[in-house]
A = this chain, B = another copy of it.
Amino acid sequence: MPLDFDPIDEAAENWRSAGWAAVDAMSAATSITRAHQILSGRIDAALAPLGLNFSRFEVLALLSFTKEGELPLGKVGDRLQVHPASVTNTVNRLEADGFVVRKPHPTDRRTTLAALTTHGRRRVETAAAALAEIEFGVAGLSADGRRSVDAAILELRSAAGDFE
């Protein structure tokens, strides 16, 4: 049951009326938050039948891009920009489902590798196809829209010190 008005637009009007500052910033932030909600709902729904969620999928995809199909847990966290505790948790689930196994690092005994299993490699292919099928939840966003979102957010991420 959709509302018969745009709640974000409505909120912006209210902010303006209340004399609150930074209305455009508020609107952009709320839009991004809501977009994330929509995407993550769609993506998780597409992945659920495969026993995955987006985090778990991202880990499998990342591993599948490496030569050996394995990576230290710390590297996984760095690349995906998630907390070490989340990596532990995610890999626990993937391991319980047989998609990855933990292996000791050959030279550094502090380090643990997550290594893709055959099962995991098959599953990530299936999942990638399923996500492509639903266009990663961004169906409804034009090619121009996708490019401009990418470009704008690149500014934001760069300013936030995400890289370089």
Contact = CB atoms under 8 A, between A and B. Distances in A.
Copies in the complex: 2
A107 interface: no
The interface residues of chain A, by DSSP majority, are classed as helix
Contacts of A29: 39, 43, 136-138
Contact of A18 (B18, B32, B65, B138): B65
Contacts of A164: 2-6
Nearest to A6: B163
Interface residues of A, number: 76
Contacts of A35: 32, 36, 153, 156-157
A45 interface: no
Interface in A123-164: 128-129, 131-132, 135-164
Residue from A11, A29, A129, A159 having most chain B Cβ neighbours under 10 A: A29
Interface string A91-123: 000000000000000000000000000000000
25 contacts: A2-B163, A2-B164, A3-B78, A3-B164, A6-B164, A7-B162, A21-B129, A24-B150, A25-B136, A25-B138, A28-B141, A28-B149, A29-B43, A29-B138, A32-B32, A32-B39, A36-B36, A139-B159, A140-B155, A140-B159, A140-B160, A141-B155, A146-B152, A148-B148, A148-B152
